[in-house]
Amino acid sequence: MDKPIILSIDTSCDETSAAVTSGRLVLSNVISSQISIHQKYGGVYPALAKRAHQERIDYVVQKAIQNAKKNRFDAVAVTQGPGLAIALEVGIKKAKQISENPLAIRENHRLPLIAVNHLEGHIYSCLAQSVGGLPKREIIFPALCLVVSGGHTELVLMKNHGEYQLIGETLDDACGEALDKAAIILKLGYPGGPVIEKLASKGEALRSYILSQPLKDKKNLNFSYSGLKTQFLYLIQSLSQKEFSQNLQNLALSFQTACFEQITRKTSQAIRVYQPKMILCGGGVISNKTLRKLLRQTAKNNNLPVFFPPKKNLITDNAAMIGVAAYYKYLRGEFVKNIDLLDREPRMTLDSHKLQADSR
Ligand code: KG4
Ligand code: ZN
């Protein structure tokens, strides 16, 4: 049987993205980044993000359809949350329009609408395949999922497709957010993760600065990054201009090392407690080669397979990952029942649908 063809949209933060997927196959994945708009503010400026999404959404959707060379669709999928409320709204409005008035995309019947959690998208990005059907990997349950992005740092136990248990999360800043803030402290601009990675790769471990780890003695699986950022700020303020400029690479390495130490420590702890069969990693910070290497080592130490998104443009925000997550929802018949009632959920959690279902 042919796999369902899904047109998906993500406007959760500062990328306007639309994609066409067929089951797990990514037929197109168009991403319009707003980095240049937000750069001068050192972070995402919500009102400008909304306007940019509104200006670009039609073009991005048409381009995704054109690139996929498809003119029949089985469903429309959209990110419902978590994310910036006024940014999410743009994607949801467009998805509703397409679902109810599919003539705009030359489809002649109403299309079912699927609402997807953005974090679920990051997890399912590991299952995306290119047109040749590779990679063929399958999830073995229970799987330990690690999502490390600009908005989230979470450990999630995935018991089956669509069944999640949040087992650890950040108590304050997300890891990507901390890297972004450290880059501002170092006057390196936005987003910080990629610049810090580049500088850190040239740093010398022996000449790096020691930052003490928060929650080191805590047994739970939560993360904390705001204390690390404050320590880093004080460290920078204590340096002379000369020491600062001579040690930029070592400083970047020190901060990055401290950020990732927490991730590998908590991931190892989660493996001991929950005994998963494999690890799935997603979210923008997973773009970092050092982090991937550390996580590969963690998986190897525990004899576990580990999956990362198979392509670079599936790691940071994109709609193809929403399409792949939507495919599994399609198989389970999880469609939006009343389209008029679908609203953005800026603080949506991975188990919120289950909680809503439970309370009905
Ligand atoms: O998943 P994502 O695109 O958006 C959110 O859902 O938040 O993640 C964006 C985050 C930013 O904080 C950015 O600095 C970080 O991912 N990031 C990186 C790298 N590339 C992007 N962090 C570390 N190393 C990278 N190479
Ligand atoms: Zn994201």
Write the CA distances from 210 to 153, 205, 301, 359, integer angstroms. 22, 10, 25, 48
Does 297 lie in the same domain as 335?
no
Is position 118 annotated in a ligand binding site? Answer: yes
Does 213 lie in the same domain as 159?
yes
CB within 8 Å of 45: residues ≥ 6 apart: 37, 38
Query: What average pLDDT score do residues 21-44 get?
Result: 91
Tokens found for residue 130: 């290119």
Q: Tell me if residue 15 falls in helix, strand or coil.
A: strand
In angstroms, the CA 257 to CA 27 distance is 37
Q: Is the dihedral of CA 90, 62, 333, 323 positive or negative?
A: negative
Write the CA distances from 198 to 202, 206, 290, 310, integer angstroms. 7, 18, 10, 21
Does 340 lie in the same domain as 216?
no
Q: Specify whether the CB–CB gap between 84 and 118 falls below 8 A.
A: no
**Selected residue with higher pLDDT from 358 and 318:** 318
Domain count, the chain: 2
Point out the least confidently predicted range of 96-110, 230-244, 252-266, 316-330.
Answer: 96-110
- Counting from 1 in the atom list of ligand 1, the atom nearest the Cα of 12 is 6
User: What tens digit of pLDDT does each residue of 196-216 get?
Assistant: 999 999 999 988 898 988 767
Q: Is 14 in the pocket of ligand 1 (CB under 6 A)?
A: no
Distance 191 CA to ligand 1 centre (A): 7
Does 130 lie in the same domain as 71?
yes
Does 328 lie in the same domain as 196?
no
User: Any idea how long the chain is?
Assistant: 360
Distance 194 CA to ligand 1 centre (A): 8
Does 317 lie in the same domain as 302?
no
CB within 8 Å of 163: residues ≥ 6 apart: 354
In angstroms, the CA 260 to CA 10 distance is 27
Give the pLDDT band of residue 356 (cuts 50, 70, 90).
very low
SS (H, E, C) 260-329: HHHHHHHHHHHHHHHCCCEEEEECHHHHCHHHHHHHHHHHHHCCCCEECCCCHHHCCCCCHHHHHHHHHH
Does 331 lie in the same domain as 254?
no
Does 268 lie in the same domain as 168?
yes
What is the residue type of 74? D
- Counting from 1 in the atom list of ligand 1, the atom nearest the Cα of 283 is 1
Question: For residue 154, which of 140, 179, 175 has the smallest C-alpha distance?
Answer: 175
Q: Is 316 in the pocket of ligand 1 (CB under 6 A)?
A: yes
Distance 288 CA to ligand 1 centre (A): 9
Does 202 lie in the same domain as 121?
no
Q: Can you give the residue range of the structural domain that contains 280?
A: 143-309
Q: What is the CATH number for 117?
A: 3.30.420.40
User: What tens digit of pLDDT does each residue of 1-17 get?
Assistant: 689 999 999 999 999 99
Residue 357: the pLDDT is 40
Tokens found for residue 325: 């997550």
pTM given for the model: 0.95
User: What tens digit of pLDDT does each residue of 249-297 get?
Assistant: 999 999 999 999 999 999 999 999 999 999 999 999 999 999 999 999 9
Residue 310: the pLDDT is 98
Residue 179: the pLDDT is 98
Does 158 lie in the same domain as 282?
yes
